[in-house]
Amino acid sequence: MSEEFTCWEETFFLRPTVKIARGLLGALLVRDLPEGRLVGRIVETEAYLQNDPACHGVRVLPEGGTVHRHTARNATMFGPPGRAYVYFTYGNHFMFNVITQPEDVPEAVLIRAIEPLEGLDMMTRLRGMDDIYALTSGPGKLTKAFAIDRTFDGHDLCQPPLRLVQGSPVPDPQVVPATRIGISRGTDLLWRFYVRENPWVSRTSR
């Protein structure tokens, strides 16, 4: 029951975004609700970069190059690091990302899967199901289990009621680099990372 949750300094989020995606494995997501606290350990992430055709902050030119793309939806991607970028997709799901890099550089890490540690009863209620391996094993699942919606877009992740804090680092032999999921461009890049053998990882193939 220790209250010692430690955020990162801003410099953590100014390192290369692919390294941050790797480094966020093992980090904890702490969600405070009126009914209690939810805690989970990040086990799968993906990096999205400013020159990356799959990134929301990027437009692909007909000639094949890329430029930054500002829109209403992705505005927080151009904001300061250490904040949440939350958007709605497929008519059903919120996606939760961590913004990296200085202002005006649209890069982020998508949190794809979490291992639930605390508050599993509340997560089953929020998810409307009781299979613990299905609670948080996907980007849309974990936002529902943690009650994360678009009101958190732009939220400072060092502040309650939603915090991203340090956990136990995951050693290299346990980290699997893989291709990203559900995108139509940039599919060859190994910018997804997950914890080997962890049952909450959304997809273990490549």
Partner DNA sequence: AGAATGATCCTCT
Partner DNA sequence: GAGGATCATTCTC
3-state SS assignment for residue 42:
strand
Per rule CB under 7 A, count of chain residues that contact DNA:
40
**Closest approach of DNA to the CB of residue 110, in Å:** 3
Helix (H) or strand (E) holding 206: none
- Examine residue 97 and tell whether it contacts DNA (CB under 7 A): yes
CB atoms within 10 A of CB 68: 16
Site for DNA in 8-27 (CB under 7 A): none
Q: Which residues contact 205 (CB under 8 A, 6 or more apart)?
A: none
Closer by beta carbon to DNA, 159 or else 187: 187
DSSP state of 156: B
- Examine residue 68 and tell whether it contacts DNA (CB under 7 A): no
DSSP state of 168: P
Strand partners, 34: none
Where does 75-127 show beta strands of DSSP type E?
84-89, 93-100, 107-118
Question: Pick from 21, 29, 39, 54: which binds DNA (CB under 7 A)?
Answer: 54
**Closest approach of DNA to the CB of residue 191, in Å:** 10
Q: Which residues contact 13 (CB under 8 A, 6 or more apart)?
A: 20, 81, 82, 98, 99, 100, 101
- Examine residue 100 and tell whether it contacts DNA (CB under 7 A): no
Q: Which two tokens stand for residue 149?
A: 């919606």
Question: Pick from 46, 126, 176, 200: which binds DNA (CB under 7 A)?
Answer: 46
Closer by beta carbon to DNA, 5 or else 120: 120
- Examine residue 63 and tell whether it contacts DNA (CB under 7 A): no
Which of 167, 169, 173, 180 lies closest to 196 in space, CA to CA? Answer: 173
- Examine residue 5 and tell whether it contacts DNA (CB under 7 A): no
Stretch that binds DNA, among 6-14, 20-28, 131-139, 157-165 (CB under 7 A): 131-139
Which of 8, 64, 24 lies closest to 186 in space, CA to CA? Answer: 64
Closer by beta carbon to DNA, 5 or else 154: 154
- Examine residue 72 and tell whether it contacts DNA (CB under 7 A): yes
- Examine residue 59 and tell whether it contacts DNA (CB under 7 A): yes
CB atoms within 10 A of CB 11: 8
Closer by beta carbon to DNA, 1 or else 72: 72
Sites of contact with DNA (CB under 7 A): 46, 48, 54-57, 59, 69, 71-74, 77, 85, 87-93, 95, 97, 108, 110, 112, 127, 129, 134, 138-142, 180-184, 202
